[in-house]
Structure 1
Amino acid sequence: MKKILGLVFGLLSVSGCTSFAEPGKGGEAENYPQAAFSPVMPDQPLGPEHGLRFDWELAARHLDILILEKAEWCFPATVHQAKQNEARIARELEGGLQLDAANDLVIQRNLLKRLERQLDYVKRQETCQPPTDSNNGNSDIELAQKIHDLLNRDNQFAFNSAELNPKYIVNLSEASQLLNQHKDFKLLITGHADALGEEDANQNLALERAKQVKRYLSIFGLSQQRIHVDSVGSNDPYLSGTEPHVRLTNRRVTIELLQLDQPLMLEKPSHNEG
C-alpha cells in the first residue's frame, strides 16, 4: 500500500503540457438538478422541442418502471448513470440545446433497453434478489454510486494521448480500494475519442485509453478478471460539436459498474487482452 500511495503522490507532482478539465468539471462529474419544464400555453405553437420533451418523458417513465421492477437493486451503478443522463437531458431541453438533447436521448434509450434486457436475464436466472434488510440494500446502492462517480470523474485525455489525468489516477486508487473490499462488482471500461482523425485510428486510441485505465487499476490491486475493456472510438460523444472544450470532454473513458455475474451485453466482442 505504501508503494501505491507513493506512486499516486509522485504522479500528482508531474507537470507537463497536457490539457485537462478544470477541477470538478468534465467527465460525468456534473450532477444537474432535474429541470422543471416551462409550461406549454394553450395558444403556443408546438415545435420539435415539444416532441423531444415527450421523448424525455417516455424515457423517464421507462426508467421509473425499471426501478419499480428492482433494477436499482440488481444494477445500482447503471441506474445511477441513467438518472444522471435523465437530469442532463432535462437541463439541455430547458436550455434550448435541442441537438444535444436529441443525441443524449438516443444514448439514454439504448442504455435503458440494455438495462431492461439485463434485468430480464437476471430475473429468468434468479441471480439477483433484493436484500431483505432495506438498510443493507440502500448501503449497497450508495456504495455503487460512490464507486461509479470516482471512476467517471476527471477522466479526460490530452489530444492523441492515452496518458491519464493525474487527478483521475487518484480516483482510480480510491475506487480500487473500495472494489477490493467489495468483490461483487466487475468493470466494463469503454474508451472514447474525439471527432478528429480516421475511424480506425480513433478506435485504436480509444482502446488504448481503456487499457491504460485497466493497467492502473491492476497496479492498485484489482484483479484483471474483474476488468473488461471495449472501444467505441468517436461514435458515442458525450457532447456534440468540435470546439476545443467539447473535444476534450469527448476524449474520455466511461466505466460501468456491473454485478460479477452480470452479462456484458456488448455490441461486439470485448477487447479484454493486455
Structure 2
Amino acid sequence: MKISVIISTYNAEAWLEKVLWGYNQQTFNEFELVIADDGSRETTRQLVSKIQAEVNFPIQYIWHEDNGFQKSTILNKAITACKSDYILMSDGDCIPRKDFVEMHMKYRKPGHFISGGYYMLPMNISELIKKDDIISQRCFDIDWLLSHGLKKSFKNNKLSSKGFKAHLLNAVTPTKASWNGHNSSGWKADILAVNGFDERMQYGGQDRELGERLMNLGIKGIQKRYSAICIHLDHKRGYKTEDSIAKNRAIRKTTKEGKIIYTPYGIKKEVEI
C-alpha cells in the first residue's frame, strides 16, 4: 500500500460507518485504513468486522481498554502499526470527499507535511446524511447542503472550489499550515523522528503540538485546506475540560519556545508519565 490512513474513534458507530463508506468511494484506492480506537464498546468492533467484508480496502483495527481520553496513546500505537512509509491522519467523524486520499498523494513531498481542510456540518445535516448521499457525493454538493438548511458563508468555498480557484485560495488564505488531527499527512519517518504524539496530552491541541515539533525538525507545512477536503459531522465533546486545555497549552508553549523536536513521552517511552 502506498499510504496508510489512520482514523481515530470512540463509541460513535453511526458516524464511523458513514466515514468508512466515504473511504470506499476514493478515486485513489491503494491505501490501508488503520482504525485507532480509544476503548470503544464491543459494538464498534462488530461494525468494523461487518464493514471490512464490504469495502475495497484492508482495515487494521487497533484498540486498547477505555482509560479516559487517551487518544494520543492509541494514535501512537496506530502509527507503529502502519505498513506504508506515508501516513494520512483523520477522524472517525470526518467523511472524506472522493478525491481526499488522491489529493494527499498528489501533493506529498519529502521534507514537508500536508495540512488539509474540513467543513463543519450542523447536527441536523450530520444526522441526515445516508449511505446513498455518500456514494453519490451529494453530501459534498453545496446546493444539496443549502437545500437542507446549510447557511451561506465564505467557508462554502471549501466544498465548491476546484482547480485554479482552490489553488488560489490555498495560496492566499491567512491560515497557516498546521498539523490538524482531522486532516493532515506526512512521512512516517518524520513522525517517528519526533517520537509521535506526546502521551501526556489529552484533548486540546495534541495534534498541533506534534506539528510544531515537526516544524522544529525542519519539516514544512503545505497548505491544502481548499483541495484536500472532508466534512466534519457534529457531536458533543464531553471529554473537553479546561484542565486538559490548560495543560496542553503549557506543553505547546514549552515546545515552541524551546524549539523542542523530540518528546520522551511518545512512541518510545523514555520517561514515565
Q: TM-score range by the shorter chain?
A: under 0.3
TM-score, scaled to structure 2: 0.27
Larger Rg: 1
Larger strand proportion, structure 1 or 2? 2
TM-score, scaled to structure 1: 0.27
Larger helix proportion, structure 1 or 2? 1
